[in-house]
Each structure stands twice: as structure tokens, then as C-alpha cells.
Structure 1
Amino acid sequence: MPQLPSPIRHLPWATATVTRILITAFEPYERWKENSSWLALVDLTSWYDGALEISTRRYPVDLPKLRELLEADLARDYDFAIHLGQSPGSAVIKLESVGLNLRTNGEPLLVDAPTAYRSTLDLEGCLQRLTGAGIPAQISHHAGTYLCNAALFLSQHYGEMMGRRTQSLFIHLPLTPGQVAADESALASMSTPMQSAAIALVAQHLAQSDS
């Protein structure tokens, strides 16, 4: 099993009402030897010392395992679940607003489940926080039909079915310059420090909006 970043604990002076957030990323897949989502999450754990209580996970690129691990994680009843994935070719951070009950083969992820879930989170506020900090970002209305979409839909569905308070968000991140260089391509990229800063800004905004 890969070494995971240690969970980030809230500061000693934080109150009992501290916001608890699960942040997940994916392992490398196909031709990508690294995953920008994981790189950003590892970087975040190296410097963040704010008042949020953050737990971290790295998920496999495998739908049955993703389902199992995600359902178990959401049983911990976090306030928020922020799922991260990389989006090769994207030049901006994308805040996904809709999780679809759809797989790449056209079949549903879950039978007898809603067609889609639309986020009720303040994505516009998150966007303003990012762009105000000089971080390119946009709200996206389609997370695809691969595991990134599956993570968002299943997170939304499990939270709903379990009666949890967890609200879920998926963030697509660009590739890093190092990934693009290793790929010998001209795809868009964004530095890992900028990506990890974006994750922290979104997490802080969600916590403040919920208080």
C-alpha cells in the first residue's frame, strides 16, 4: 500500500465544533507516472497548519475498490468531502457541480439511484476566492464519466443514503509542469504549490460558509 500523508490535526486551541474535512486524491494511471491530485495533497500536508481537521486518502483507479473505500470513509461523517483528480489538458482548476449516475459504457453506476446530484455548495464563492487569489479556475458542469465523476456521484449518494451531514465536492486539477515535461507534450500545466493553495482556499471557504 502507498504511504499516505498523515491526517492534519486541528490546532490545540480549536473548539469542539472544528470542521472535519476528508480530502482524497487518486493514484497514477495509464501513461501518467504521477497524479497531480496526489502531488497537490502531499504538498498541502507539508505546510497547512490551520484550524480545519483534515483527513487524507489516496484512492486506487479501480471502481469496485473506490466504492468500498469511499463508503467506509463517509461512515466517519465528515462535514465535507473534497475529492481531487487530474484533468490532462486543462489550464484551470475546475469545480465540478454535477455528479452523474453514469459509467463510460453508458450503464449507471448504481441501479435505482438518482440520475444525477447537483452540488448545493457555494461554488461561486469558492471560485471568487480562487480567482481573487490569482488562481485560474472555473465552475464545470460535467465531470466526465470516468472515476472522477464516480467519486463525486457516489460520495453524494452515500452521504444522502446514510443520512450523513457530509457535503461533497470534486475538484479537477491541471497537470504539473513536471508531468508535462516527462510526457514531452505541450499540455497546459499548473504548479503544485498553486494547486495545494487552491485546495486550502476552497476548504477554508466551505468551512466559513457552513459556520
Structure 2
Amino acid sequence: MSPLPRVLLTGFEPFGGEDVNPSWQAVSLVRDTPPDGVDLHTVRLSCAFGTANDELHAAVRDFTPDLVLCVGQAGGRPDLTVERVAVNVDDARIPDNAGNQPVDEPIAPDGPAAYFAPLPVKACVAAVREAGLPASVSQTAGTFVCNHVFYGLSHLIATELPLLRGGFVHVPYAPEQVKDRALPSLPVSAMADGLRAIITAALTTETDLRVPEGATH
């Protein structure tokens, strides 16, 4: 009998004055009820430049996963967004949780300007939609710690672990975060269902779908 595929799933601690981070809330629900047929390991990353990548890389070394899926909060977005492109720049509009606020600094000085996600992004979006939830391909993961981790993971895969599959997913605010703000949100349980669908699609899709999921702006 072949071993189960090993999946590393990460979320973030709260940041920006929030009391919770729905990425970690959703990851915790998936940890409690993982998809069938996977060996799942979860890690909560610090919302801090440098530290977050150190924590992620340590978890990859310790767990030796087949798939890494990192999850972060994108307040204001209405759906689960599977990220297509990681860019090699830290440009922080606000300080991270350690007080760092890098501006126009490369994540990997020897790395390329960008990486496309080593993940079947369109198949993952389709799987979330098939589960009855909103999803789309995102062309930008921002330039804060989420993109920092996404690029760090992609660079690790490109330079050291070419057989590893990995990517990044952003989730919206949870309802409790927008009680006094007219912003979109999604129940955390729905986010968890979407992440389970993405994990399954990422593990079972050899060639990504060739369907239009681009943006006009």
C-alpha cells in the first residue's frame, strides 16, 4: 500500500489590529476534519517578514510534504482567490507584527522578478466552484507578508525541491471582522470547505485547465 500524500497547510496569526485571522481559523477547521486520503500537517506562521519564511522552510524540512498550501487573509475580497504570480519585492504599506516595514526590498536578491505558482490554479478555482463556493484566479498576492511567503515557497521549490507542488490562497474577512464595516465576508466553515477542495484538486490534477480566468485590469 502506497503512503498517503503529505500536505502542509499554513495560515497566519492576526495582524493589522485584527483579533483573528480567518486564514488560521479555516486551516484549523481543515486540520480537525482533513480531506480523505491525506496526511495533513498545519503550521501557524508569524506575520513578520523573514520570520514567516524561516518558519515555513523549517516546516517543509521537518514534514517533507508533497504539497504545500499557504493561506492568508485578503480583507475586501469577496471570494477564495488562488494566486497565480509571486513577485520578488517586499513593499509594506503597514508594519508587520515585528515592526518591520521594508520598502522596495527584494525577497531573494538572486531570484527572478516573479514566479508562476507551481500549482494548477485554474483547476483549484474550478474545484471550489464545484463545491458551491465563490472563487477566482488572482493575479497579485500584494507586496506584504503573504506575497513574501508565496515567493519564498516558490523560490524554495525552484531552487531546491523541484518535485514539490505548492501555492497560495487568499481568503476574505470572516463575518465577525466586518460587523461595523460594509465589506464582503465568508463563513470560516465555507473557507475550510474550499481549502479541502483545493487540496484535492492540487493532488489529483496533472495538467491545469485551459480556460479563461484572466483579468482586464
- The TM-score by the shorter chain falls in which range? 0.7 to 0.9
- Equivalent position of 1:169 in the other structure: 167
* Contact kept? 1:74, 1:159, Cα under 8 Å: no
> Is 2:36 aligned against 1:40?
no
Q: Distance in 2 between matches of 1:73 and 1:85?
A: 17
> Is 2:5 aligned against 1:19?
yes
> Is 2:60 aligned against 1:74?
yes
* Contact kept? 1:74, 1:166, Cα under 8 Å: no
Q: Distance in 2 between matches of 1:173 and 1:24?
A: 13
Identify which of 185, 188, 191 aligns with 1:189.
Answer: 185
Length-normalised TM-score, structure 1? 0.87
- Equivalent position of 2:96 in the other structure: none
Q: Following superposition of structure 1 onto structure 2, how do residues 13-162 of structure 1 map, counting pairs within 5 Å? A: 15-48=1-34, 50-75=36-61, 76-104=63-91, 105-162=103-160
Following TM superposition, by how much is the alpha carbon of 1:121 offset from its aligned partner in structure 2, in angstroms? 2.3
> Is 2:201 aligned against 1:205?
yes
Q: Distance in 2 between matches of 1:23 and 1:102?
A: 23
Q: What stretches of structure 1 move > 4 A for 4+ residues in a row?
A: none
- Equivalent position of 1:3 in the other structure: none
Following TM superposition, by how much is the alpha carbon of 1:164 offset from its aligned partner in structure 2, in angstroms? 4.6
Deviation per residue, 1:24-60 (Å, 9 max, x gap) = 0000112210001011011122223511111100001
Percent of aligned positions with the same letter in both sequences?
25
Structure 1, unmatched stretches of 5+, are: 1-14
Please tell me the residue identity of whatever aligns with 1:188: P
Q: 1:187 to 1:125 in 2, by over 3 A?
A: same
Give the secondary-structure state (helix, strand or coil) at the position aligned to 2:205. helix
Structure 2, unmatched stretches of 5+, are: 92-102, 208-217
Q: Distance in 2 between matches of 1:170 and 1:26?
A: 12
Following TM superposition, by how much is the alpha carbon of 1:64 offset from its aligned partner in structure 2, in angstroms? 2.1
Please tell me the residue identity of whatever aligns with 1:185: R
Superposed CA RMSD: 1.6
Q: How many residues align?
A: 195
Q: 1:159 to 1:77 in 2, by over 3 A?
A: farther
Give the secondary-structure state (helix, strand or coil) at the position aligned to 2:105. coil
Following TM superposition, by how much is the alpha carbon of 1:210 offset from its aligned partner in structure 2, in angstroms? 4.7
